[in-house]
Amino acid sequence: MINQDDSRQDLAHEIKASTGIDFNCCLHCKTCANGCPFIEGMDYAPNAVIRLIQFGMEEEALNSSTIWVCVGCDTCSSCCPMAIDIPGVMDGLRHKAIKQGIKIAEPDILNFHTEVLNTVKKYGRTHKLEIMMRYKLKTMDLLSDIGMGLKMLKKRKLDLTPSKIQDKKAIGKIFKKK
Ligand code: SF4
Ligand code: SF4
């Protein structure tokens, strides 16, 4: 049973205004859901998240694991007959969830995003070794991927020291705008 919120248009308007994406033309053809490589890890299919927004089901949409599991690969939007930027919608929902202090359904994924952004902010580029180490410390999952990490180090897929861009001020400006 779906309980529609009386203010159901508010959420749709807000996400549309913040992302500039018109998802109301969604046909619910499920092409996005059928092609999504991460559908198994999601609680709602991508088109179902759009439906939640249309129904004003804010709590369900913002508490959904789907908005965090989505990696923004664009497989869905490139096949969508209405050219809807679905990862952009997910991004809008993630921003809203953080802003509202919602309990994040997949906190480890947010931790990972945060560590990636931290290295970009510091060096202007990602530093995979630092991302992995900080992420592992934060989640206290220290040993599960150690074999993979050692293999990557051996094959020189992980730089020990970060590579930095010259114009770090430009990066600072981008982060200030956010
Ligand atoms: S592919 Fe596009 S039109 Fe079809 S359900 Fe997904 S978002 Fe809607
Ligand atoms: S962008 Fe997100 S929803 Fe779309 S196919 Fe990729 S993981 Fe799935």
Q: Is the CB of 70 under 6 A from ligand 2?
A: yes
* Residue where a domain stops, chosen among 45, 67, 99: 99
**For residue 158, what are the contacts with CB-CB under 8 A and spacing of at least 6?**
128, 129, 132, 149, 152
The CA 86 to ligand 1 mean position distance, Å, reads 8
Rounded CA-CA distance 150/29 in Å is 44
The CA 36 to ligand 2 mean position distance, Å, reads 5
For residue 73, give the ligand nearest its CA: 2
Judgement on whether residues 87 and 120 belong to the same structural domain of the protein: no
- Nearest Cα residue to atom 2 of ligand 1: 80
Query: Does a structural domain hold residue 2?
Result: no
CATH number where 76 lies: 1.10.1060.10
- Nearest Cα residue to atom 4 of ligand 1: 29
Judgement on whether residues 43 and 70 belong to the same structural domain of the protein: yes
For residue 80, give the ligand nearest its CA: 1
Q: Is the CB of 71 under 6 A from ligand 2?
A: yes
Range(s) of the domain holding residue 63: 8-99
* Residue where a domain stops, chosen among 41, 70, 99: 99
pTM for the structure as a whole:
0.83
Judgement on whether residues 12 and 95 belong to the same structural domain of the protein: yes
Query: Does a structural domain hold residue 45?
Result: yes
**For residue 67, what are the contacts with CB-CB under 8 A and spacing of at least 6?**
49, 61, 90, 93, 94, 97, 105
* Residue where a domain stops, chosen among 99, 122, 146: 99
Judgement on whether residues 80 and 159 belong to the same structural domain of the protein: no
Judgement on whether residues 82 and 26 belong to the same structural domain of the protein: yes
The count of domains in the chain is 2
Atom of ligand 1 nearest to the CA of 25: 3
The CA 38 to ligand 2 mean position distance, Å, reads 7
Pocket of ligand 1 (CB under 6 A): 26-32, 47, 50, 80-82, 84, 86
pLDDT in tens for each of the 178 residues of the chain?
A: 445 545 567 889 999 999 999 888 999 999 999 999 999 999 999 999 999 999 999 999 999 999 999 999 999 999 999 999 999 999 999 999 999 999 999 999 999 999 999 999 999 999 999 999 999 998 888 888 889 989 998 998 889 999 999 988 889 888 886 5
Give pLDDT, residue 100.
Answer: 93
